[in-house]
Amino acid sequence: MKNLQRAGLALLAVGLAAVPFVASDTLVQFGINALLVATLTQGWNIIGGFTGYPSFGNSVFYGLGTYGTAIAMAQLHLPFGVGLVAGGVLGVAFALLFGIPILRLRGPYFAIATLGLAAVMSAIVATIGFAGKNIGLILPLFRGDTLFYELSLVLLVAATGTVAWLARSRFGAGLVAIREDEDAAQVMGINTTMYKVGALALAAFFSSLAGGIHAYWITFIDPGSAFDPTLNVRMVIMTLFGGPGTIFGPVLGSFVLSAVSEVLASKVSTVASLFYGFVIVLAVVFMPKGLLDLFQGFRHSGFRYFAQNMRRFRL
């Protein structure tokens, strides 16, 4: 069974890797975005899903990755690889520096502090001349969507692999303990500060690399799009939609929601966002524990799954 699972996953990865060679450019474009968003979602899953810290600052890591890459390429004329590393270093350094004071806060207060950080960073970048102020930076044009796609795929696989490792390691167990009861975890002898900062740094690593790839792909960036707080909201939503604290839930959630909004945007065009809103509202009502839970629960108890859930969560 276990081997069968592994074989299935490997097949899926190979299938996804083959997409740019067989599919249309449109699908590849969609793929790049879906993979990057899935990576971001998986990053959020580490800090939000496993550790239970609802971060609104992951868009900062994404933005720093974006700017690290863009400054290296547009201002210093360094190659893409160097830019990507610079972005990753910036993101992780920021997580380590601000993680310690911020992670002392809990629940909504943590959320609001990270939201504040995101707004501050966006505003600060908009005043730095070297980062192009609020006018933005232009990166060189590169005709290599296959490369962007494969890089994004590698990044997502790495992020998912990391989460899979978390799910079975001591480190991951420590994070879950913090989520369930932080004080108890501390009493049990877990160095909660180190664990939490570690989780945040991991999230920052993947988010900032995703930002770097996106910057080179889109060629023009400005603080508004790089530090977009709604991107962070999307990470949260996609994680919850799929199933927080699971290995594949966030990936599934982001693929499904990306696909839904993309199809709506190109087929029904102007009412797309309305449908998107309704999908989210209905999803919360009918599958409050995410898609994965829905699949399992539905196999168990059929349509009674919905009634059970509703009875449990309504007032």
Partner 1 sequence: MRRTMMVLAIAAVAACKRAPEQGGQITASQITLGASVQLTGRLANTGRYYGDGYAMAVERINEKGGVSVGGKQLKLALKILDNQSDVNLGVRQCTQLLTQDKVNFLLGPFSSNDALDQSSVAEKYQVPMVQGGGASSQIFSRNYKYIFGTLPPADDYYASTIKMLMKMDPKPKTVALVAADDSFDVSVANGTRKLLKEAGLDLVVDKQYRENNSDFSSILSLAKSSDPDILLWSGHEAEALNFIRQAKSLGMSPKLMYAFTVGVPTADFRKALGKDAEYAFGMTPWLPSKDLKDDYFGDAAVFAKEYQQRFGYAPDYHAASAIADVEVYAKAIAAAGSLEPAKVRDAVAKVDFGSLYGKVKFQPNGQISLPQTVIQIQKGEVVEIFAEDFLGKPRYPLPPWAKR
Partner 2 sequence: MQLFAQILVNGILLGGLYGLMALGMGLVWGVLNIVNLAHGALIMLGGYAVYYLYTKGGIDPFAALPIAMVLLFLFGYLLQRFLLNLIVRSAQLNTLLITFGLDVVFVYLAQLLFSADFRTINPPYAGSNIDVGGVTIPYAQLAAFLVAIFLAAILFLFLDRTRTGRAIRATAQNLTAARLYGVNPRRIYALTFGTGAALAGAAGGLYGVVSQITPYIGVTLTAKSFVIAILGGLDKPIGVILGGLLLGIAEAMTALYLDPTFTDIISFGLLVLVLVAKPAQILGRA
Chain positions contacting partner 1, by CB under 8 A = 4-5, 8-9, 11-12, 15-16, 19, 22-27, 29-30, 33, 123, 126, 133-136, 138, 141, 143, 218-220, 222, 224-225, 248, 252, 255, 262, 265-266, 269-270, 272-273, 292, 295
Contacting partner 2 within 70-109 (CB under 8 A): 101-102, 104-109
* CA gyration radius, the chain: 20
Please name the helix (run of DSSP H) or strand (run of DSSP E) that holds residue 137, with its range, or none. strand 137-138
- Tell me the torsion sign for CA atoms 13, 58, 62, 197: negative
Q: Could you give the CA distance from residue 276 to residue 271 in angstroms, rounded to a whole number? A: 9
**Residue 313 contacts partner 2 per CB under 8 A:** yes
Asked if 113 and 200 touch (Cβ cutoff 8 Å), the reply is: no
Query: Is residue 270 packed enough to be buried (19+ CB in 10 Å), middle (13-18) or exposed (0-12)?
Result: exposed
Signed CA dihedral, 61, 198, 39, 271: sign only: negative
Q: Which is nearer to partner 1, 146 or 186 (CB)?
A: 146
Nearer to partner 2, 93 or 279 (CB): 279
List phi, psi (to 5°) of 138.
Answer: -110, 125
Residue 314 binds which one of partner 2, partner 1, none, with CB within 5 to 8 A depending on kind?
Answer: partner 2
> Which among 277, 254, 230 is positioned nearest to 33, based on CA atoms?
254
Listed ranges 11-19, 207-215, 280-288, 291-299: which one lies at the site for partner 2 (CB under 8 A): 280-288
> Least Å distance between CB 107 and partner 2?
8
Q: Taking CB within 5 to 8 Å according to partner kind, which of partner 1, partner 2, none is near residue 101?
A: partner 2
Q: Does 233 sit near partner 2 (CB under 8 A)?
A: yes
How many whole angstroms separate alpha carbon 242 and alpha carbon 237?
9
Binding stretches for partner 2 (CB under 8 A): 48, 54, 101-102, 104-109, 111-113, 115-117, 119-120, 122-124, 126-127, 134, 229-230, 233, 236-237, 240-241, 244, 271, 273-274, 276-281, 283-285, 288-289, 310, 312-315
